[in-house]
Amino acid sequence: MSVQAWTFLFVGATFSLYLVIAWLSRVSDTKGFYVAGQGIPAAANGMATAADWMSAASFISMAGIISTLGYAGGMYLMGWTGGYVLLALLLAPYLRKFGHYTVPDFIGDRYRSNAARIVAVVCAIFVSFTYVAGQMRGVGIVFSRFLEVDVNIGVYVGVAIVFVYATLGGMKGITWTQVAQYWVLITAFLTPAIAISLQLTGTPIPQIGLGSELVGEGTALLEKLNQIHADLGFASYTEPFIGNWDKLNVFAVTLALMAGTAGLPHVIVRFYTVKNVAAARWSAFWALLFIALLYLTAPAIGAFARYAMLDGLHGKTEQELPGWFHSWEQTGLLLWMDDGDGRLSYTGGDRIDENELFRSGNLGAARIAELKTDHQKWLDGNPDGRDGRPALRQAGLVGPDRDIIVLATPEMADLARWIIALVAAGGLAAALSTASGLLLVISSSVAHDLYYRIINPAATESQRLLVGRTVIGFAVVIAGILGIYPPGFVSQVVAFAFGLAAASFFPAIVLGIFSKRVGTYPAMFGMIAGIGFTGTYILGSVYGGWSSWAFGIGPQGIGAVGMALNFIVTLGLTPFFPAPDKSVQELILSIREPEGAGPGLDIDHSAEAD
């Protein structure tokens, strides 16, 4: 069977599975629709959270980023996992005890203000839409790479599938589908990693393989990688703080990603779906354990693939190059512009001028073909010809596309065809599971926080459910349109969503739980100052050409400063404003107390009543 036939088989089988699960878990009330009836077991919720969390970017791009950055790739690994510690310790159990459906619910009730609620709704919708557009695009890209169909057809198929299971089952359908999607994506990620670890280091555990010696070399893999890097002019793979990534910036980005993770609405909302506070704590543990399986493997894949690429490509002639090089060359993820000696040179750093390996990036097919033709003429000594390398260097397209690291790993390791197809199904599972979780946040923000809590508090259960389904239906379609016509800023903005969440939600929620004194206005001014400063700084750096004037911190890490500013403004203003009234004091006391027997039970019920 060909790779394509296997891919059709795997994708068809997994998609049918998702639809069957959706039908079995369809719901008929708002509690089922928004928080899955609060009856999801902790371990299953952990898996769903993990699938929700790990997007197309985590699955396809992260190992590639680590492979390119070396040590500095660790800031993504630490940031995106360390955030779960904050989430588990500072937020999850208390928000579950609070018992309502969304993050804006908590902000609005704790700070007694519809204005604060609306600010939270707008932030939640903004963050979710920028994020979801990337997922739909990811579905399209996986389809086009593995099934050779148009990117847009892939987006249509993705929209259709998500539309069915999200409108039918709401959070319940989404959660159980995500459990299935977790297994598909983790199997797809681990299988090639184990195989390539066995091949290079002789141990089946990639995390141990990364710290082991290469088979038949007697040198540790990482040491060998550092040697090759030094020979070819690249910066050391394991040494920290080289180039742009100085200590302060790595620190700021890591911190911003950690706090941002804990402030992202689609992650927080998962902890509303479990039975009780104890289950919320367990659920956070399971979620991070399941996420860690992928995050501990990604650095291994990154280093293995880095070694395979440098060792397998540099200095090779057309005939000596491995088969996967030629098959991925067609996709434009790799582009070889020879200098005339017939041997590929893959170098960097102070030897960057010798580098002959590029990627097509956003340049159109016509432009690439033109560059290639001119380059061939130049090689042949034709006076009309032109060296293609300076043009590509100028366009910032030096080196292979980072997505190739995960996508081509099975082929680098000469694995069976079905494993390649499995990776395709895994990438789709990662993209679909994240997209559906985000769509639900959008739906609940509009239908619950705006429609029910502000516009029409008298709405009946069936009216609310209808609005919820309609909004999610519309949101899927808008997400699809954004996937087909991706606005240029999306890819840049997604990376900054964490900074914005860190600077706005995180301090407001933490202070809302741990301080009885912080009142409405300090919290609102804090949020506005945090998100205003962070947003302006990001826009100024990306579009306005600002040099990083705030302590030399770049736009990715500025959320850490914005968060500090939020805390300072909120706490600094607090003494000048009245403390929250008695009912809010009770609310705070009730979310701090564990549920169960005793007098706390009464308060518990009053907090649960909707």
Partner 1 sequence: MTHSPDERDPRVAAAIGRYWKKNVTIMAILLFVWAAVGLGAGVLFADSLNAYYIGGYPLGFWFAQQGSIITFVILILIYALTLNRLDKEHHRDLARLNEEDAT
Judged by the rule CB under 8 A, the positions of this chain that interact with partner 1 are 66, 71, 73-75, 77-78, 81-82, 84-86, 88-90, 93, 207-208, 210-213, 220-223, 238-241, 247, 250-251, 254-255, 258, 277-278, 281-282, 284-285, 288-289, 292, 295-296, 299, 582, 585-586, 589, 592-594, 596-600, 602-603, 606
User: Residue 18 corresponds to which tokens in the numbers above?
Assistant: 């998702």
- In this structure, are residues 491 and 134 in contact, taking their beta carbons and an 8 Å threshold? yes
Closer residue to partner 1, CB minimum distance, 150 or 217: 217
Please state the closest distance from residue 208 (CB atom) to partner 1, in A.
8
* Cβ distance to partner 1 smaller for residue 75 or 123: 75
Beta bridge partners of 398: 358
Nearer to partner 1, 449 or 604 (CB): 604
Q: Which residues pair with 112 in a beta bridge?
A: none
Rounded Cα gap, residues 548 and 100, in angstroms:
40
**Minimum CB separation from partner 1 for residue 69, in Å?**
11
CB 172 within 8 A of CB 25: yes
Extract the tokens encoding 521: 């206005």
Closest separation between CB of residue 579 and partner 1, Å?
A: 13
| Shortest distance (Å) from residue 291 CB to partner 1 | 9
Place of tokens 């302590």: 551
In terms of Cα–Cα distance, which of 375, 324, 340, 335 is closest to 357? 335
The encoded tokens of residue 71 equal: 């040590």
Nearer to partner 1 among residue 246 and residue 374 (C-beta): 246
Cα gap 531→552, rounded to integer Å: 19
User: SS3 breakdown of the chain: % helix, strand, coil, rounded to 5?
Assistant: 75, 0, 25
* Beta carbon nearer to partner 1, 167 or 197: 197
Residue with Cβ nearer partner 1 (154 or 562): 562
Q: Name the one residue in this structure whose structure tokens are 């306005």.
A: 544
Closer Cβ to partner 1, 17 or 220, answer by number: 220
CB 565, CB 531: distance < 8 Å: no
293 versus 568: smaller Cβ distance to partner 1: 293
Q: Residue 227 Cβ, how far from partner 1 at the closest point, in Å?
A: 13
Q: What is the dihedral of CA 552, 555, 560, 563, to 10 degrees?
A: 120
Q: Are 11 and 424 in contact (CB under 8 A)?
A: yes
Q: Residue 255 Cβ, how far from partner 1 at the closest point, in Å?
A: 7
Distance CA 207, CA 218 (A): 18
Nearer to partner 1, 167 or 273 (CB): 273
Residue 487: CB minimum distance to partner 1, A? 33
Instruction: State the Cα–Cα distance between residues 386 and 369, nearest whole angstrom.
Output: 13
In the complex with partner 1, the residue whose CB is nearer, 213 or 449, is: 213
Whether the CB-CB separation of 35 and 103 falls below 8 Å is answered with no
- As measured in angstroms, the least distance from the Cβ of 267 to partner 1 is 14
Strand partners, 220: 213
Q: How far is the CB of 609 from partner 1 (least distance, A)?
A: 11
Phi, psi angles (nearest 5°) of residue 328: -85, -15
Tell me the chain's radius of gyration from C-alpha atoms.
25
Residue type, 404: I
Q: How far is the CB of 177 from partner 1 (least distance, A)?
A: 25
Pseudo-torsion of CA 297, 154, 497, 105, nearest 10°?
Answer: -110
